[in-house]
């Protein structure tokens, strides 16, 4: 039984005061919502403020990236144990913005995934094809390559991994994938997880859709058999719209 998971990715947005204001506005709006898991991923600078604001609620804290080493001379990097210490239980890894703008490779993502898991965090692994790759009918091949390389040598005891299918052309564009296309790819990802990690775990791992998710389309994605939740960028910046996404079951 997979619990629906709704994750807010704030990217490089919100000063500390704005992050606190979001939490104050958001928490009453999701009070009493049952059977969903909610995660907020602020920028590193707002983690502590958001952690404090979320205390006593069921909303979890996540980071947007992590480094694979535990400590040492790695200027600018943050380790899994530092994130755990800061109150995070989740971390986004391999977001397409990091792959494209910062040159992150699958081999780096693989090391980050292993380090995050060893450090006790639940990684949210992002994969997805570009528009050109989709137009050239290469979407399945690209995502297959990413999943296989990112999971190389990974052994899991529990389903403490989340995968987010985020077609690059749908991120921040207002153009979402169709629920059918999301289901096709996410079903395919589940079959790849089964090959890499075994069917039992693959059936328990949450796979999210991400790319222009908004309150108006969340329920359509959630109605698909293999879509277990959403990774939300733009629409997660307002408490009102993120709360409506979390309350997707309500008419």
Return the active site residues: 95, 166
Site for ligand PEP contains 234 (CB under 6 A): yes
For residue 39, the minimal CB distance to ligand PEP (Å) is 12
Q: What angle do CA 54, 55, 60 make, to 5 degrees?
A: 55
Q: Which stretch binds ligand PEP (CB under 6 A): 21-29, 65-73, 190-198, 233-241?
A: 233-241
41 CA to centre of own chain: 9
Rounded distance, CA 82 to CA 79, Å? 5
Binding flags for ligand PEP, 118-157, as an x/- string (CB under 6 A)? ----------------------------------------
Cβ burial of 218 (10 Å; 0-12, 13-18, 19+) is buried
Closest approach of Cβ 44 to ligand PEP, in Å?
Answer: 16
Residues with Cβ within 8 Å of 65's Cβ and at least 6 positions away in sequence, in order, are 78, 91, 92, 93, 95, 98, 112
List the one residue from 46, 202, 231, 242 that touches ligand PEP (CB under 6 A): 231
Say if CB 196 and CB 154 are below 8 A apart: yes
The answer to the question of residue 241 lying near ligand PEP (CB under 6 A) is no
Give the interface with ligand PEP as residue ranges (CB under 6 A).
9, 11, 166, 171-172, 210-213, 231-235
């Amino acid at each position: 039984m997979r619990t629906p998971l709704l994750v807010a990715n704030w990217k490089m947005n919100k000063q500390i005061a704005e992050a606190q204001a979001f939490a104050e506005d958001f928490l009453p709006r999701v009070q009493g919502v049952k059977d969903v898991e909610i995660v907020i991923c602020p920028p590193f600078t707002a983690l502590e403020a958001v952690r404090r604001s979320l205390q006593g609620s069921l909303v979890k804290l996540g980071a947007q990236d992590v480094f694979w080493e535990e400590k040492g001379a790695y200027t600018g990097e943050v380790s899994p144990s530092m994130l755990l210490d800061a109150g995070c239980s989740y971390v986004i890894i391999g977001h397409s913005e990091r792959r494209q703008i910062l040159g992150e490779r699958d081999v780096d993502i693989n090391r980050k995934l292993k380090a995050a898991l060893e450090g006790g965090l639940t990684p949210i692994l992002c994969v997805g094809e570009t528009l050109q790759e989709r137009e050239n009918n290469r979407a399945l091949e690209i995502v297959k390559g990413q999943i296989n390389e990112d999971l190389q040598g990974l052994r899991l005891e529990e389903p403490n991994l989340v995968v987010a299918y985020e077609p690059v052309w749908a991120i921040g564009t207002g153009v979402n994938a169709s629920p059918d296309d999301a289901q096709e790819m996410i079903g395919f990802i589940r079959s790849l997880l089964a090959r890499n990690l075994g069917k039992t775990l693959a059936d328990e791992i949450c796979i999210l859709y991400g790319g222009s998710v908004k309150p108006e389309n969340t329920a359509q994605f959630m109605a698909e058999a293999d879509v277990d939740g959403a990774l939300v960028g733009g629409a997660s910046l307002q408490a009102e719209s993120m709360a409506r996404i979390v309350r997707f079951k309500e008419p």
